[in-house]
Amino acid sequence: MADGPETGDEKMAFGKRTWCGFLAVVAAGIAFADGLRLTAPADRATVPTLSEGQKAYLAMPRKERVAYFADEAKRREMKKLGYYPQPLTLSWEGVPAGTKAVVSVYRLPDRTCVFQEETEGTSVRIDNLEIARTYGWRVEAAGESRTAVFTTEAIAPRLIRVPGVPNVRDLGGRIGLGGKRVRQGRVFRSAGLNDNAENVYLTKEELAASGRIPALDAEKGTLEAERARFEAFQKNPASFRLVPNTLSSAWTVFRPAREVTDRETAELARLNAVPESLFGVKGERVTADKRGNFQFERVAEKPVFFLQAFDAEADGYLSVAISSSQIASIRMNGTVVYDLFRIRNRAGDFSSADRTLPLPVKKGRNLMVALVDTNSRARAWRCTIAPSEPVTRLFSSELKYLRYRLKDLYRVYKGRRAGRNRLDGKTLPFMLETLGIKSDIDLRSDGECWGMTGSPLGPTVTWFHYSSSAYGGMQSKEGREAFTKVFRVFLDEKNYPIDFHCIAGQDRTGAVAFILNGLLGVSEEELYLDWESTGFWNGSASFNHRNLFDKLVEGFQKREGADLHAKIEGYVLSLGFTPGDIAAFRKMMLEP
């Protein structure tokens, strides 16, 4: 096989896209006893890009895979397989120890260099190769040159190693319409290229200077008394009095047009009735649905306030349920009784569908005030009568919450800062030069992207920020609007290559990948496998078909169409796109 044309310096994982060529290595006076020989892989061999364990999972029948995905122990084993590609070792012999050699790997037939390294060893490891692709490789030492060819297995996904950014893979590689393979190197899906924005808290010095410590000390005393009371209830459940729930579905909502300070929020303790205006805005009357939900039409940066006055027949506790994923702070008659704003980073500890709260009430008129973050993933305020359950469960839940409150009591919110960039001096050139990313589609919410003005990849990459939905939410108004914006990016050739992601690269990213692959004619089985491949990174058994993926499929199965692919195409057409738009996307993404 003839050698390739000349090239510049490049390494497989982190280097420039260039041409492989002959780089002479001068080693005068060194003689070869038997001459340079390439030993592995054998010439014309087929080599894996996935490990045997990864391939074994992907080869399971769907029914078996679905059961596997719901098994906690098996999912832990799946995660151990890792989400990186299987490295390939290139080796040679016939050279004395310490002899310098230049190793080059180039894609065929276009002869694009994907790896080049100078070494004094007799082997190198490479990865991030495309699947179902033929490569040439060459070793040059002491004026001699040997070449061979290998082909990678045609098993998707094409996993990609980007240290610092998890769950990266090529959307391409699978077989689509007309038996054509989806192009590789055009579209990538990944986890976030930077961390989500994070909260910043007052230092001990700042907290002391703010003058808030006396008030926090007083709150600590209140919480400790509440904890002691629930511990006593736990020992004597009969002494705990639940009063009938008299909350209604009607709320008064205030949506401040500006940030409300902690000091202003503290003034809510003075309220004893629902005011006509609050923080400069008039109240809106809203009614929750039968489940107690009030769905926000849009996601806002600023929290909103829900107020309701109601009567209780006696002193005691009111058992209510709120969404476990909702960031909220609740005051009853001026006293904070629940506050996930303060312990929001521990919200994941409350993992049930609803969080049941025993709220203290007094006989007669009561005022409930809820500060609700509309930027949380629930995007709805749910507060309704709690389902019937043993009172002892309330004690256990409340004691767990009180422990968190006490632990984080002096951890006072100061503000936010943009998330840390996950790309460094090696991974950034890899994304920009080797993968050639030109567009970054960020599917995260405004809150997750707080403080961002562009892509973590830098100013040469166009940042498209479209807060997206996932699973059944793709059929909602918000989900449809977001995907409409996202798909327009894919219809413009100048935007390629593209990386799209949320923070984990699994839910919102997985939903968009499902639609894109469906349009390209990727089989239903492969649509499942593409989503399931995130299991190599996420080992949680709660990340499973029944909880998540089934809702995505069901949302499309309810649409009209002869099969799943027709229904996905019908969905895209219903967004205002044309058959010509879909054809153009397929032309850009399917190999000839």
Domain ranges for the chain, please list them.
18-50+85-154, 199-416, 427-589
Structure tokens that stand for 68 in this block = 């596997």
CATH class, range 427-589: alpha beta
Neighbour order of strands in the sheet with 169-170 = 158-159, 169-170, 187-190, 498-501, 439-442, 462-465
Q: What are the residue ranges in the chain where pLDDT is below 70?
A: 1-34, 296-301, 324-326, 341-354, 374-381, 385-390
**Range 199-416: architecture per CATH:** Sandwich (2.60)
User: Over the stretch 20-77, which tens digit does the pLDDT of each residue have?
Assistant: 543 333 333 333 446 899 999 999 999 999 999 999 999 999 999 999 999 999 999 9
SS3 206: helix
Question: Can you tell me the distance from the alpha carbon of 269 to that of 272, in angstroms, rounded to the nearest whole number?
Answer: 8
Look up the pTM and report it: 0.75
Neighbours of 266 (CB within 10 A): 14
pLDDT at res. 98: 87
Pairing label, strands 144-152, 45-47: parallel
Q: Is the fold of 199-416 the same as that of 427-589?
A: no
Relative orientation angle of helices 579-589 and 508-519, to the nearest 10 degrees: 100
pLDDT of residue 14: 40
The CATH architecture of the domain made up of 18-50+85-154 is Sandwich (2.60)
CA distance linking residue 504 with residue 510, whole number of Å? 10
pLDDT of the residue at 23: 37
Distance CA(68)–CA(45), nearest Å, equals 33
